[in-house]
């Protein structure tokens, strides 16, 4: 007998074998719902609709400090460097991180994982205190977006919603906010609108320097199970972890193929070689051990930004069954 599990997750190359059924978690009848990440996060955080889902790392950490409805497995479907996600109005006079002090900065949600990383990195590595910036929250391209998780604004931090009907991209283009922290590229910027530019002219070079100094490839999303399901079937945590790992390994092998490229990018082989040279051969690991430094940095940022209301260690995030392996 198998346990039915509905998993909400986007269509990543590293999860395709799970979506197609090529890889099946042991003992699980898996239904894979391919949903945009914002929809998955909203429905899982607000309504707990799915048995398992990828979830914003920040939302998950906040939930652990509250009623703890989920339990994580050390699988990270999304990682991204975030220096490239800082945009400024071209006429703002902002040319370096210190210039953001006292300015109005848009964020889709204050508790967004990408925003936690950006604020933490700017504070730790560029000397820009979190509270020195005034934050305005709202939809990037559609008005009306609110925080998925309600929280008390940290003392001394100015956080307010944008006016009704406004979008962050529109406000940035018009100079009504000075800058924007966003994991998603603003459409106007992608279309070449000269009113919006990135803070760092060469964000990749900045990100490579950051990695060389810290060995951190920021984690954005983590896979979680509803705690009530996990408590009934604790073996599910390890079964899903093993299946995700097998799917990740299959994607890595496919990416390395040069006889016929799986991607439309003509120089994917060169990009893969450069990435391996800079980050090492296993640059997207699952499991606690190789991710402990990265997770510890994020948890420190979440605590300093008063989103995490208690001290958490990286091991506290995951089902204990996923942290040890059988030795033969």
The per-residue pLDDT of the chain, averaged, comes to: 95
Half-sphere exposure of residue 148, counting CA atoms within 13 Å on the CB side? 24
Give Cα 284 distance to the centre of its chain.
Answer: 13
Per residue in 94-134, pLDDT (tens digit) is 999 999 999 999 999 999 999 999 999 999 999 999 999 99
Write the CATH number of the domain with boundaries 3-79+218-322.
3.40.190.10
Per residue in 223-279, pLDDT (tens digit) is 999 999 999 999 999 999 999 999 999 998 887 677 777 788 888 888 889 999 999
Q: Are strands 179-181 and 86-89 parallel, antiparallel or unpaired?
A: antiparallel
Does the domain at 83-214 match CATH 3.90.1300.10? Answer given as no
**Helix or strand holding residue 134 (H, E):** strand 134-137
Q: Could you give the C-alpha distances from 100 to 40, 137, 178, 305, 307, in angstroms and in order?
A: 32, 16, 8, 17, 22
For the chain, give every residue range classified as CATH 3.40.190.10.
3-79+218-322, 83-214
Give the tokens for residue 75.
């699988």
How would you class 125 by CB atoms within 10 Å of its CB: exposed for 0-12, middle for 13-18, buried for 19 or more? middle
**Helix or strand holding residue 170 (H, E):** helix 168-174
Backbone angles phi, psi at 5, to 5 degrees: -135, 125
In the DSSP assignment, the letter for residue 322 is G
Per residue in 14-66, pLDDT (tens digit) is 999 999 999 999 999 999 999 999 999 999 999 999 999 999 999 999 999 99
Per residue in 5-26, pLDDT (tens digit) is 999 999 999 999 999 999 999 9
In the DSSP assignment, the letter for residue 321 is G
């Amino acid at each position: 007998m198998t346990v039915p599990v509905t998993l909400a997750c986007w269509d990543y190359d590293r999860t395709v074998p799970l979506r197609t059924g090529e890889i099946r978690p042991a003992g699980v009848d898996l239904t894979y719902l391919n949903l945009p990440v914002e929809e998955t996060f909203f429905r899982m955080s607000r309504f707990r609709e799915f048995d398992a889902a990828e979830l914003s790392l920040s939302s998950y950490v906040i939930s652990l400090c509250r009623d703890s409805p989920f339990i994580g497995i050390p699988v990270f479907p999304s990682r991204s460097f975030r220096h490239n996600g800082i945009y400024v109005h071209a006429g703002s006079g902002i040319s370096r991180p210190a210039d953001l002090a006292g300015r109005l900065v848009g964020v889709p949600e204050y508790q967004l994982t990408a925003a936690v990383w950006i604020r933490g990195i700017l504070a730790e590595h560029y000397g820009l205190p979190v509270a020195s910036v005034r934050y305005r929250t709202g939809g990037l391209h559609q008005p009306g977006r609110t925080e998925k998780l309600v929280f008390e604004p940290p003392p001394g931090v100015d956080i307010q919603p944008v006016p009704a009907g406004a979008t962050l991209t529109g406000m940035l283009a018009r100079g009504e906010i000075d800058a924007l922290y966003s994991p998603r590229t603003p459409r106007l910027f992608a279309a070449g609108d000269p009113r919006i530019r990135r803070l760092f002219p060469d964000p990749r070079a900045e990100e490579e320097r950051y990695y060389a100094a810290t060995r951190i490839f920021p984690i954005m999303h983590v896979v979680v199970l509803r705690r009530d399901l996990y408590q009934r079937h604790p073996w599910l945590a390890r079964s899903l972890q093993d299946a995700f790992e097998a799917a990740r390994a299959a994607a890595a092998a496919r990416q390395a193929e040069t006889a016929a490229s799986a991607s439309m990018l003509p120089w994917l082989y060169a990009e893969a070689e450069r990435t391996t040279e800079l980050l090492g051969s296993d640059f997207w690991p699952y499991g606690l051990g190789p991710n402990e430094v990265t997770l510890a940095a994020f948890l420190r940022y979440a605590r300093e930004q008063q989103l995490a209301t208690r001290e958490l260690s990286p091991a506290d995030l995951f089902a204990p069954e996923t942290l040890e392996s059988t030795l033969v």
